[in-house]
Structure 1
Amino acid sequence: MSKVVLITGGSSGIGKSIGELLLEKGYIVYGTSRNPQNYPNSRFPILALDLTQKDTIKSCIEILFEKENRLDVLINNAGKGITGPIEEISEVEIKRNFETNLFGPINTIKFVLPHMRKQNSGLIINITSIAGYMGLPYRGIYSASKGALELITEAFRMEIKDFNIQMTNVAPGDFATNIAAGRYHAPVLENSLYKIPYGNTLTLMNEHVNGGSNPTIMANAILKIIQTNKPKIHYKVGGFLEKISIVLKRILPDRVYEKMLLKFYKL
């Protein structure tokens, strides 16, 4: 029996690449989008889902089970970037980012778990970010929301271990997607004390995304995890410097690591 996979945010970028690869490998794939009508040419069905609206999450899961009567793999891929000096980002935008990157995935898991318990099987993959392992300048809110999902994954795994449901976390580095265009940018204010350093860092971040790896690398990593009997707790998918940065954070003194980041971002 072909496994049924639901990918939140499966209409573009990493989610689309994952969906298309899994489709080629014989999986039954569904993606989600806030506006599925915008993707009439998708190679797999796109269901309506807005991570900030619990009723749409509930409706999406109900529709999926009406169609397939099971869900083998949930991939919490949808997320939103946010940049800016923390002092200048509005509370509304901070809460909106956490609604999308943290509370949305948690609610999706909550709606899926009863069904997976009933079928006595399931795999949940939470896609976070290597940025979630460290507080990055002018990406602090994004780092915090993705880092929180990392810890939620660790706790959830232990809580659901008796239900034959597995959960893992995959942290990608920079990939060539449209995330830079879709993320919220706090404006570079003319009279801001952060104008020059934030402006320069924003340019550097966009360059990293534009020069990022092909999303098919991430898709192949996800396929391998799905085909693994006992997935690890954490996976990192990215370039050598991105992955080694996590190791260095563990072994270097805090101030040394901070100086390394400041030098990298030219601050």
Structure 2
Amino acid sequence: MSRTVLITGNSSGLGHGLTEVYLDKGWEVYGVSRRGCTDLPGKLKDIRCDLTDYEAVPLALETLLMGIGHLDVVILNAGILCKMQDMADSSLADIQQVMDANVWSNKVLLDWLLKSGIRIDQIVLISSGASINGNRGWGAYALSKATLNMLTQLYAHEFPHTHLAALAPGLVDTAMQDVLCDPAQVDEQQFPSVAKLRAARETPAMPKPRDAGQLIADAIPGLKQLPSGSFADIRTLGQN
């Protein structure tokens, strides 16, 4: 029997890399994204949906997962970055937009999965080191990922037969880095943490999405060794 995975935000970036990896492994992949993922061969069933359109999400999932009784892994990857700026310069509207995409869309997804009757072995929510670092400029993004970590911990109580984890994937060379590594868009003097990103780009410390997806896929089975609801950083897994 084929193994199955649901991946959100799989039209680009890390989500696309994860989709490539699982298809190459022969898994059946179910994808949800705004733009759709139609460029990859394999057992891929895909649906387009803006996950911040909360009323549209249940119908999209019902259509995508019709007849599915079991998912080996769910990877809630979809999310957005905020503009690099000080908290005092961040409007509540800007913060809300990031929270809607990075947190509340995942609550809608988790609620549907909880009530769906689908047996799920693991749910992995893609977090970030920004959720605990508190570096200047990461504002709404850091807040959203810290909230996502707690969301994972809280829902772990409500999925008694499913293992949940929030996973920071480390540095990944996606379109997000095009912005962060552009001196015209982000001032390194004002926001010193981007210096690490710029130094890591085009080195093994910042893998391409396909390679990062492989690292994550390899790490996911081992997350079950942690208590359900845990936060983990892929860069430190196995060091303790």
List alignment gaps of at least 5 residues for structure 1: 189-193, 248-267
Which residue of the partner structure matches residue 21 of structure 2? 21
Which residue of the partner structure matches residue 104 of structure 1? 105
Question: Within 1, Cα distance between the matches of 2:111 and 2:151?
Answer: 12
The count of residues paired between Structure 1 and Structure 2 equals 227
**Residue among 169, 173, 189 paired with 1:172:** 169
TM-score w.r.t. length of structure 2: 0.81
Cα distance, 1:209 vs structure 2: 6.9
SS for the counterpart of 1:45 is strand
Cα distance, 1:104 vs structure 2: 0.9
Q: Are the equivalent residues in 2 in contact too, given 1:10–1:32 (CA < 8 A)?
A: yes
Which residue of the partner structure matches residue 42 of structure 1? 40
TM-score w.r.t. length of structure 1: 0.73
Question: Within 2, Cα distance between the matches of 1:196 and 1:12?
Answer: 26
Which residue of the partner structure matches residue 10 of structure 2? 10
Which residue of the partner structure matches residue 217 of structure 2? 223
The one-letter amino acid of 2:108's match is: N
Taking only aligned residues, the RMSD between alpha carbons, in angstroms, comes to: 3.1
Which residue of the partner structure matches residue 89 of structure 1? 90
Q: Which string of whole-angstrom CA distances, capped at 9 and with x for unpartnered residues, describes residues 226-265 of structure 1?
A: 4458342333124xxxx59xx9xxxxxxxxxxxxxxxxxx
Identity over aligned pairs, percent: 25
Which residue of the partner structure matches residue 114 of structure 1? 115
List alignment gaps of at least 5 residues for structure 2: none
Q: Which string of whole-angstrom CA distances, capped at 9 and with x for unpartnered residues, describes residues 167-213 of structure 1?
A: 11211221111124579x9x97xxxxx98843x64863762574422
The one-letter amino acid of 2:157's match is: M
Higher helix share: 1
Q: Which string of whole-angstrom CA distances, capped at 9 and with x for unpartnered residues, describes residues 1-40 of structure 1?
A: 212211111111111111111111121002222122xx44
**Residue among 231, 234, 237 paired with 1:237:** 234
Q: Are the equivalent residues in 1 in contact too, given 2:216–2:234 (CA < 8 A)?
A: no
The 3 A distance-change label for structure 1 pair 196 and 31 is closer
